[in-house]
Amino acid sequence: MQWADGSKNTYRNVEADAYVTLSRKRASKIAKTSAPIAPAKPVKEPSDDVPETRVEYFRALAAAEISAGVAARLRAALADPSDDVRAALVAVLAKERNAEGLRLLLRFLEDSSEIVVVGTVDAICPFEEETTIRHLLRMFAHSSAAVRRHTADCFTTYYQAFQEQQAVIHRKYLAVPYLAALLSDSDVAVRIAAAKALGAAEKFRENSLSSRRSKIPTCG
């Protein structure tokens, strides 16, 4: 190191790629600050037609913050030619559990693939909202026995969980006639699922009545 007055100093064992403070006697290392966090890389659209690549692409999109652009690209997956890709997206949206994801899931109920619709019924069942119940009621008439069975199983879980929101309770009761009709379904597994759901519905009714009676004030 050559100073302004022409004198020179030689420094040895100075760490490479480090900031140092120089004096005429020694070189002192400056403590490193933490490196800045690199911004998240944008999700790139797949450049090939391999279904697995598209699955990873849609999985990354669903995990990102749902903007208008992301939502539009996810909606495009409704028309993906691969059943496996659409089923995988249903599974991803089920894990995210947000309002936009639910809106997309409801559209997958109209899918042409049995495996996709079954996955969608299972995915929206945990939401247990008035809107989801209304859409699920239509699945009792689905052409697929697997879809009808999974729908009945979903309502079994609904009846097993007590829900005081009156609109939701009303929707649950609307399923009883559909379940009763399934007792004569051509598929034995569907009939078993319907019977199980009706048993849970009766238990749900009894619990609801007991709860209402307990809230009625009594005269002392």
Q: Are residues 134 and 180 in the same domain?
A: yes
Q: Are residues 105 and 175 in the same domain?
A: no
User: What residue numbers bound the domain in which 74 lies?
Assistant: 48-125
Boundary of a domain, candidates 89, 105, 125? 125
Rg of the Cα trace of the chain? Answer: 30
Q: Are residues 135 and 101 in the same domain?
A: no
Predicted pLDDT at 39 = 37
Q: What is the dihedral of CA 43, 98, 144, 152, to 10 degrees?
A: 160
| 187, 149 Cβ separation under 8 angstroms | yes
**Is 216 inside a domain boundary?**
no
Predicted pLDDT at 54 = 81
Helices 51-63 and 83-96, axial angle in degrees (round to 10): 20
Place of tokens 């709860």: 211
Boundary of a domain, candidates 61, 96, 125? 125
What residues in the chain have per-residue pLDDT under 70? 1-9, 11-48, 62, 64-68, 162-169, 207-220
pLDDT in tens, 70-99: 777 777 778 889 999 899 889 888 887 778
**Is 20 inside a domain boundary?**
no
CATH of the domain at 192: 1.25.10.10
Predicted pLDDT at 203 = 85
Q: Are residues 155 and 97 in the same domain?
A: no
d(CA 157, CA 159): 5
Q: Are residues 183 and 205 in the same domain?
A: yes
**Is 103 inside a domain boundary?**
yes
**Is 35 inside a domain boundary?**
no
- Quote the number of domains for the chain: 2
Q: Are residues 112 and 148 in the same domain?
A: no
Residues whose CB is less than 8 angstroms from the CB of residue 208 and which lie 6 or more positions away in sequence, other chains included: 162, 169
The residue ranges of DSSP E strands in the chain, in sequence order, are 20-22, 27-29
| 176, 138 Cβ separation under 8 angstroms | no
Q: Are residues 121 and 63 in the same domain?
A: yes
Residue 174: CB atoms within 10 A of its CB come to 12
